[in-house]
Chains A and B, each alone.
Chain A
Amino acid sequence: MDFNFTEEQDMVRDSLTRLVRENYGWETRMAAINSENGLNPGTWAQLAELGLFGMPFAEEDGGFGGGAVDAMIVMEEFGKGLVVEPFVPTVVCAGGFLKHAGTAAQKEEHIGGIVDGSQIFAFAYAEPRGRYDYADLETTAKKDGSGYILNGHKAVVIGAPWATHLIVTARTSGERRDKQGVSVFVIDKSADGVVTRDYATVDGRRASEVFFENASIPAEALIGEEGGGLPLIERVTDEAIAAQCAEACGAMKVAHTMTVDYSRERKQFGVPIGSFQVLQHRMVDMYTEYEQSVSMTYLATLKLDAPEAERKLAVSAAKVRIGQAAHHIGQEAIQIHGGNGMTDEYAIGHYFKRLTIFDSEFGNVDHHMKRHMTLANA
């Protein structure tokens, strides 16, 4: 057993902490998310310079041979600063698909671009009627000569307005919700027949509805086995969940610290409100929830390469526990901040909103509770 980080990992964390503090201060962040394209110009390049984007890839593929623990470190720091840059869609999701199932040509085409920051990805998996089932697909990819014709509507594709490329899930055979017949494609967002409608999200990011209107894509766009994509999607989304659990932990830590600090400064009835036992105990409960969440993030992260059932159990357990903690901590943080917590001006409300939306990404508490129950009773 070893819960220590390597020297390199500590260094990555330190430099990222510095970058977030120096170049991603609160006012800079707010100006960026309210700007035309919602990003702070330059941040993506700075993150690339730190070498973060090469993390998951093997050295022979142009990466740095890192692993899930590295992504965890990055995302915890992102969570602390509410960094909106699409690290998870690009590095964890697209990177994961390429690493686990990409052909030599696909790796050649994309890994270099991810590492140097020139290729940004979004992961188009959700659909208007599919909820959290990756196989509940109405988007279809029909064989057409050697390639495919893509039709369908992908919902709330996080980071798509910033993306140069999309990872798309689509049905190549079978019926809606069949486990077989799901395929994964990597496409250029500017391809003909790809139409996007961009918008802001309540937690300060950007997303798109993505429509495929007879989009013609080449055979080489297929990642992994045709029709056999579901286990691959589950693996990559489990990796994304672990990374976002770390992000939630970072956000919860800051939300808790801000709340404790506020309770020290805010005086009512002539004393700091932090001197009231009823609030003290509630802040202790927030702290306990946070610590449990850190533990669950470690569990999920360290089980990502375990056998499938073991991995899924650990990831679902983490997503359930942290989904609950994120709601609890977000709500209590606002309550203890009182009216000030309701204002756009105070940072705490933005942490609350990010922690709210965390639950609905890659399956909410109920979804993962069911997956856990099914596997645990198998």
Chain B
Amino acid sequence: MNLEFTPEEIAFRDEVRAFIAENYPKQLEGLTQRDDLDPADMVAWHKVLGEKGWSVPAWPEEYGGTGWTPTQRYIWSEENARVNAVMPLPFGTSMVGPVIYTFGSDEQKAQHLAGIRSGDVWWCQGYSEPGAGSDLASLKTTAVRDGDHYVLNGQKTWTTLAQHADWGFFLCRTDPDAAKPQQGISFILVDMKTPGIEVRPIKLIDGGYEVNETWLDDVRVPVENLVGQENMGWTYAKFLLAHERSGIAGVARSKRGVEQLRGIAKSEQLDGAPLMSDFDFARKVSQLEIDLSALEITELRTLAGEQAGKGPGPESSILKIKGTEIQQRLTELTLEAVGHYGTPFYPSVSDAGSNEYPVGPSYAEHSAASYFNMRKTSIYGGSNEIQRNIITKMILGL
């Protein structure tokens, strides 16, 4: 057993570090909050990586993956986190992309994979519904066959950034009479410009608009847009969720967050000394860092398993639970660190009057909003209660 990088891995790290230093878009420097980004900013780095051939490292090489080992991919995410890079959005690259190359037709691969790699086509996810959250299989949106088309009707919710999306992947019920709710669901690709789709923004508690309600009213979709087989969508959906979970730990980003927290706590003062030298506060930061170490090694063990040919299994639920708890704790401590300056509301770019200079120190600016926003992480991607159910069933066998 050995935790150290090999000389080859160190050389790889130096290569990607140099590439990032030279090519990371200048307009993104210093922008870390999604609220500060306009749509072009959100895909700027993705497009650079698309040119380079590095936008989808985990994909099989025949579909444009880099062929990197899991360790190299880990190094890649670490190096990006060092500069707080605005990474490619997951909806194409780590959600629908793998579904298409695994289960899609040759035509679908030819039509969609290139746009996902390049960042030219923006995807959104139509999974949850107002009545189908944790119990996703109870979804009610229907797709009824009519000649060469499916006609979609229903309401999706939490469709992240659908306001900018070109395409969406939707779970729809194609067999209402199936014996179990999991059966009778199909996975359908939808051009978001199709008549009958209405995207309505949802304002969140941090004041931002990252999610939407998406209404489908007699939306006619060619049958060629069905992925895999009709009524087999649940299998593909589960495959996708396991992929989503494996990236959800956010270790590299949280490590960067801990560094930033230390920086903030060195600037903030308590009794004329840096907050970071206060025992009570330092203890909490160390606790967080210790938890993060445990998560990091757990993730590396999972990666090593993948390297040995095992796909992401139910243990990825551990990564989701601990990863999101750490992200939440990190923002909670950051808010605590900034003291009084967590209280002002800082309008985002989506609001008017956002050009004002910050009220307190600039690092305090989004501390409360980030804390509020991160509460979503233990809810989305299968709530942490659902993750515990998965571990109960799949690992404990209860």
Residues of A in contact with B (beta carbons under 8 Å apart): 126, 128-133, 136, 155-156, 158, 176-177, 197, 199-203, 207, 209, 267-270, 276, 278-279, 327, 331, 334-335, 338-339, 341-345, 349-350, 352-353, 356-357, 359-360, 364, 366, 369-370
Contacts and interface: CB of A to CB of B under 8 A. Distances in A.
Nearest to A268: B135
Which of B359, B376, B380 has the most chain A CB within a 10 Å cutoff? B359
Contacts of A370: 280
B145 interface: no
A366 B205 contact: no
A156 B344 contact: yes
B135 A176 contact: no
Contact of B205 (A130, A209, A278, A343): A343
Nearest to A276: B385
A338 B133 contact: yes
Which of B128, B335, B340, B383 has the most chain A CB within a 10 Å cutoff? B340
Contacts of B336: 359-360, 364, 366
A207 B375 contact: no
Contacts, number: 137
Interface string B124-148: 0000100111110010000000000
B369 interface: yes
A177 B379 contact: no
Which of A128, A202, A345 has the most chain B CB within a 10 Å cutoff? A202
Given A207-B344, A344-B204, A356-B335, A339 B157 contact: yes
A342 B204 contact: yes
Contacts of A353: 205, 368, 372
Contacts of A338: 133-134, 379, 383
A202 B345 contact: yes
Contacts of B359: 156, 197, 199, 209
A335 B379 contact: yes
Size class of B's contact patch?
A: 35 or more
A347 B244 CA distance: 30
Contacts of A270: 135, 138
A136 B205 CA distance: 34
A207 B275 CA distance: 25
Nearest to A278: B385
Nearest to A330: B375
Contact of B371 (A131, A335, A350, A356): A356
Contacts of A343: 202-205
A344 B138 contact: no
B130 to A, nearest CB: 9
Nearest to A350: B205
Contacts of A155: 340-341, 360
Nearest to B208: A344
B250 to A, nearest CB: 18
Which of B343, B368, B388 has the most chain A CB within a 10 Å cutoff? B343
B204 A177 contact: no
A199 B270 contact: no
Nearest to A344: B203
A115 B340 CA distance: 29
